[in-house]
């Protein structure tokens, strides 16, 4: 099976929350990497619980996900790439991660849900280069169309938004006249 680049971003309420989650997330990914390569892991999950506690907690969610979707748990791969030294990077309240050696068609949807629930992330998004995402910068944490639609539904705010827009237009016009 081939591999490709995968990217993940997790947004937290504050930079301090992101910083607090960074080391545990690094540990989760290291455990998952090691467990995925451990030939004893799959047949002896319970025996590996002490060695890979975070990974085992995630595996439980994979089993629940598989029950809901009627797919085998292994359909939601445990693959987080080959670079065990790869760590999450932080930019303010966002942690991000990428690896170029994750198995094709690995679904990280259960992983994103686990990270959101376990580490109190506000939002977690992921994608892979097979979907045309060529860098971590292309992963968007915001649904801009949804934000605009939500604002437009607030009819009481429309006059205020338009007034602010008119005032900005006027200010820009004055500045342009000065130059």
- CA angle, 171 as apex, 165 and 176 as ends, to 5°? 125
pLDDT of the residue at 75:
45
pLDDT over 60 at 117, yes or no = yes
pLDDT of the residue at 115:
94
Same domain, 132 and 152: no
Phi, psi of 95 (to 5 degrees): -105, 140
Same domain, 102 and 148: no
- Cβ–Cβ under 8 Å, residues 90 and 19: yes
Q: Which domain holds residue 149?
A: 144-178
pLDDT over 70 at 49, yes or no = yes
| Virtual torsion, Cα 163, 168, 171, 172, nearest 10 deg | -140
Residue 68 structure tokens: 């809901």
What whole-number distance in Å separates Cα of residue 162 and Cα of residue 36? Answer: 55
First to last CA, the chain: 62
Same domain, 154 and 68: no
Same domain, 132 and 150: no
Same domain, 35 and 18: yes
In this structure, of 29-33, 39-43, 161-165, the range with the lowest mean pLDDT score is 39-43
pLDDT of the residue at 137:
66
Closest to 78 in 3D by CA, of 38, 41, 47, 36: 36
pTM reported for the whole predicted model: 0.70
pLDDT over 80 at 141, yes or no = no
Same domain, 41 and 121: yes
Instruction: Please state the rounded mean pLDDT for residues 4-19.
Output: 91
pLDDT of the residue at 90:
93
pLDDT of the residue at 97:
87
Q: How many domains does the chain have?
A: 2
Same domain, 99 and 25: yes
């Amino acid at each position: 099976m081939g591999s490709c680049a995968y990217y993940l971003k997790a947004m937290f309420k504050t930079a301090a929350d992101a910083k607090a989650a960074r080391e545990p997330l690094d540990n989760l990914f290291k455990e998952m990497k090691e467990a995925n390569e451990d030939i004893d892991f799959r047949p002896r999950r319970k025996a590996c619980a002490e060695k890979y506690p975070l990974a085992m907690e995630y595996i439980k969610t994979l089993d629940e996900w598989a029950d809901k979707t009627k797919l085998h748990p292994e359909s939601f791969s445990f693959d987080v790439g080959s670079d065990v030294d790869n760590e999450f990077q932080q930019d303010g309240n966002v942690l991000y991660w990428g690896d170029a050696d994750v198995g094709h068609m690995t679904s990280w949807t259960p992983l994103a849900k686990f990270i959101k629930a376990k580490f109190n992330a506000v939002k977690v998004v992921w994608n892979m280069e097979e979907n045309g995402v060529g860098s971590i910068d292309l992963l968007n944490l915001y649904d801009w169309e949804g934000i605009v639609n939500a604002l437009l539904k607030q009819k009481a705010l429309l006059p205020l938004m338009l007034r602010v827009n008119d005032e900005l237009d006027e200010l820009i016009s004055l500045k342009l006249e000065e130059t």
